[in-house]
Structure 1
Amino acid sequence: MLRLRYLAALPFVALVLIVALGLVFGRGNTLATGAAPISFALENGMNVLVIPDHRAPVVTHMVWYEVGAADETPGKTGLAHFFEHLMFKGTEKIAPGQFSRIVARNGGQDNAFTHYDFTAYFQVIAKDRLPLVMEMEADRMINLELTDAEVLPERDVVLEELRMRIENSPSALLQSEMNAALYGGHPYGRDIIGHKSEISQLGTEDALDFYRRFYTPNNATLIVAGDITADELKPLAERYYGSIARRAPNFVRERPSVEWPGEDKRIVRRDPRVNEATWMRYYPAPSYASAREEEAPVFDVLAEILGGGTTSRLYRALVVEQGVAAGVQSWYEGSRLDEGKFGIYALPRAGGALDALEKAVEQEVARLLETGVTDEELERAKTVIVASAVYARDSQRSMAYAYGEGLMTGLGVEDIHEWPERVAAVTKDDVLAAAKKIFEGTHFVTGELLPGEDS
């Protein structure tokens, strides 16, 4: 079964497709339901959020842990993602490898994913099977059994995943270097999957220590979206999760501040596996959490106007009018507890030079800073983003993910629920101010991926 274990390491083109579906970054956070979700807390400190959606007798059950790749002990990178794999090993009640099989036999689907700031597990299943998956998830929260026989082979699986997703992907290798150059010594500057040399040294005791410290109800949030009410869910949550005692104190994050580059940086990577050149640029940007409340949605609008589709500034200028690009995209990555980033990605026309492409991108950015945006551009961008939020309501899993991701990265339920309204309130002056914040007086990281001998 495919697991969404390492989204941040996917080649950027794949990420663009995921973004377009509203599953991960940017617009995924603009989701809101028609009725506000209901939240409450259990006595053991576990938070609960209910998102009613009564169109079908189905529910999405998610447990989110407030620990991710950015919270790992120095020298043990990759442990958060590695442990996500290990959660599918067994307990006294459920044999190793049987968790997903039980869910499938009951007509459901399950998955998991690791982020810099969180780790989450979910099941989509018929409402009458909800108690089953709640019991199973609660069981592995406290009763996971790990020995070298389960841990060490799974470590090899993670190492193979690293080889496939990073080492065998020139684009992923370039992005890794660019993130390191942008974020410096902050944990966001390393890959979620971790460093190969450190993963290879992780053992059973490392996993058990991580489990005991972070997989405790007072470090978790339960989200259930679907055909259920808060009155129905509360006794189930108390029965299955409320009986689990805290086994560690509340986790207080201690991370270094992000220190942005003091000068522009350029990373050039040549690889014989590359057929066509690629150009990318990363700019420092606040995250949704670190931006001012009224400022947060503006960066999404800016990204849509500048390079969000075939009507965007960059596409019209570089692809349609000048013919120097075969494709171009801009995006804003704000779903971080600490700082985010703003990116531009472009493919030159066959045989085209990257320097001409880069010059054209810079000219369009300069033009936007000089002239601002038009009423038409603003309304089109806001319409696209708000429509994306409305359409995403058709997916229970997207609803649950959007709220979970937002809560794990510093937003409140109200922030997420009211996101479309906040987008609709963005003005032309807001967009110009955001553009100046991103593009003026900051130092960026430029990446070039070229055919040729290994670099």
Structure 2
Amino acid sequence: MTRSSVAVLALVALTLALVPGLSRAAVFSPQTATLDNGMQVVLVENHRAPVVTHMVWYKVGSADEPQGVSGIAHFLEHLMFKGTDKMVPGDFSKIVARNGGNDNAFTSWDYTGYFQNIARDRLDLVMEMEADRMTNLKLSDDVVLPERDVIIEERRSRIDTSPGALLGEQMRASLYMAHPYGRSIIGWRHEMEKLSTEDALEFYRDWYAPNNAILVVAGDITMDELLPMAEKYYGVIPRGKDMTRNRVQEPVQHAPRKVTMRDPQVGQASWSRYYLAPSYNTDAADAVPLDVLSEIIGSGTTSRFFKALVVDQEIASSVGTFYDPVTVDLASFGVYAVPRGDVDLADLEKAVEAEIAKVVADGVTQDELDRAKQKLLDSAVFARDSLSAGARVLGQSLAVGLTVDQVESWPDRISGVTVEQVNDAAKRVFDAKKSVTGWLMPPEGGPVTGAGAALPITSGEGVH
């Protein structure tokens, strides 16, 4: 999966606000069932073409890793392609490709997912292979240790040589003082270098079981056709032990933090700030208003911050916000900006803070609210047109503990958001004591030739 595809899918997930309540206006109209071994089955029918998206989501991610083995969730994601008694290492993806499909996998703090896009008449093939590696993965040092070198190189190329990624990693580690969301998904290098075959097998035995997994299929198939296939391949797998997410909770935060980084690769300075924010699991009442707030102040060239800082004041070349409340525990709300020309970061920071202060003091208007809600509702229409969007949003939501009804209730809930709710949520989230500010700058002597802007990485996924 490319970073661009991750970004697109993440945007779909962010726009589909997930809150409690029963649905009157459906989003994806999924059908659900549960196998005897506890595996949940979800179907989104789409008969426009004879193809399907097949996904298996495990309710485990990097935030569930034991202390000292950071990166093991992502490492195991790689190792799941190393074969079973029925399949030699590397053959999984080759077989999918030979049958006209494509596949990949991804790891986040709260989940790990595997998917294939393939013709409808090949669904039983990929389902059989996926079920096989759920329970029959074979690992030994001769395949594990070379793959450990691969993930270390991946960290080097994606994180260690990217100033924006490094700063984002440091900012998250500062934002979450105790909670494992501050841990790097790919892992800390000194711990990655010690990951072993037994570490991977122990994590696999604990978490990879049908009762900790969700099967999501979208495409040209009915539940009457899907359920017997799921029972044939997944239903025969014995239930595993019941796992719980034992996570350290975040303490009360009393002071803002700041992370400053200079790097020769940075040609254009950038500014960012992360705030601790509620998720749909921790405070659903504020989560939907914050989705709307993010749309109003920081989504695209028509947003309030863009018009104020880029168009009117001409102090920034770009500005925006991000918010991902689809998490098990506390989420984050971010604001970022790039200065125009030689504008000093301190001046840019003052300008952004002034706009935040206006939101807190004066709130948003009814007109802003109405336009933002309409854009979000329109996004649901576009999401229905995508074969994989429904599978992705439903899988992510269920993996963090939300329900199908919470996904399907989105149109009603977003339509019911009021100005007062948005303004109250803004006052609560823009709390400097619960924030981390990042300054990314060229070295004192100036950037190296050819260096460009580098914003902190905000994506929450590592991909195979």
What's the TM-score bracket when you normalise by the shorter of the two chains?
A: over 0.9
1:281 aligns with 2:273: yes
Query: Measured at CA, do residues 35 and 117 of structure 1 come closer, stay the same or move farther in structure 2, by a change above 3 Å?
Result: closer
Match for residue 179 of structure 2 among 186, 198, 223: 186
Aligned equivalent of 2:426: 435
8 Å Cα contact 1:304-1:312 kept in structure 2: yes
Q: 1:343-383: CA deviations, max 9, x gaps?
A: 00000001111111111111111112222211221111111
Shift of residue 179, structure 1, vs aligned partner = 0.5
8 Å Cα contact 1:182-1:261 kept in structure 2: no
Shift of residue 420, structure 1, vs aligned partner = 2.4
Flag the structure with more relative contact order, 1 or 2, with Cα contacts below 8 A and sequence separation at least 6: 2
Aligned equivalent of 1:196: 189
Letter in 2 for 1:171: G
8 Å Cα contact 2:105-2:114 kept in structure 1: yes
1:321 aligns with 2:312: yes
Q: Quick check: 112-121 or 23-32, which moved more?
A: 23-32
**TM-score, normalised via structure 2 length:** 0.91
Query: Measured at CA, do residues 177 and 251 of structure 1 come closer, stay the same or move farther in structure 2, by a change above 3 Å?
Result: same
Question: How many angstroms apart in 2 are the aligned matches of 1:117 and 1:230?
Answer: 28
Task: Point out where structure 2 has 5 or more consecutive residues left out of the alignment.
Answer: 20-24, 446-464
Question: How many angstroms apart in 2 are the aligned matches of 1:324 and 1:354?
Answer: 10
8 Å Cα contact 1:22-1:392 kept in structure 2: no
Kindly report the root-mean-square deviation, in angstroms, between the aligned alpha carbons of the 2 structures. 1.8
Aligned equivalent of 2:454: none
Aligned equivalent of 1:86: 79
1:270 aligns with 2:258: no
Q: Secondary structure at the match of 2:86?
A: coil
Question: How many angstroms apart in 2 are the aligned matches of 1:399 and 1:417?
Answer: 11
Question: How many angstroms apart in 1 are the aligned matches of 2:245 and 2:303?
Answer: 39
Q: Secondary structure at the match of 2:309?
A: helix
Aligned length: 440
Shift of residue 103, structure 1, vs aligned partner = 0.5
Aligned equivalent of 1:11: none
8 Å Cα contact 1:300-1:331 kept in structure 2: no
Matched residues, percent identical? 52
8 Å Cα contact 2:275-2:431 kept in structure 1: no
Q: How does 1:400-439 map to 2 (within 5 A)?
A: 400-439=391-430
Question: How many angstroms apart in 1 are the aligned matches of 2:84 and 2:294?
Answer: 46
Match for residue 256 of structure 1 among 231, 241, 248: 248
Runs of 4+ in 1 over 4 A off after TM superposition: 17-25, 28-35
**TM-score, normalised via structure 1 length:** 0.93
Q: 1:126-175: CA deviations, max 9, x gaps?
A: 11111001000001111111111110000000000000111000011111
Shift of residue 391, structure 1, vs aligned partner = 0.4
Question: How many angstroms apart in 2 are the aligned matches of 1:100 and 1:328?
Answer: 39
1:304 aligns with 2:292: no
Query: Measured at CA, do residues 93 and 28 of structure 1 come closer, stay the same or move farther in structure 2, by a change above 3 Å?
Result: farther
1:67 aligns with 2:60: yes
8 Å Cα contact 2:27-2:411 kept in structure 1: no
Task: Point out where structure 1 has 5 or more consecutive residues left out of the alignment.
Answer: 8-13
1:40 aligns with 2:27: no
8 Å Cα contact 1:183-1:189 kept in structure 2: yes
8 Å Cα contact 1:25-1:334 kept in structure 2: no
Q: 1:413-453: CA deviations, max 9, x gaps?
A: 01111212211211111110110111147431100001006
Q: How does 1:14-163 map to 2 (within 5 A)?
A: 18-19=6-7, 22=10, 26-27=14-15, 36-163=29-156
Q: Quick check: 255-264 or 110-119, which moved more?
A: 255-264
Aligned equivalent of 1:176: 169
Q: Secondary structure at the match of 1:91?
A: coil
Shift of residue 191, structure 1, vs aligned partner = 0.8
Letter in 2 for 1:350: G
Query: Measured at CA, do residues 57 and 74 of structure 1 come closer, stay the same or move farther in structure 2, by a change above 3 Å?
Result: same
Q: How does 1:389-400 map to 2 (within 5 A)?
A: 389-400=380-391
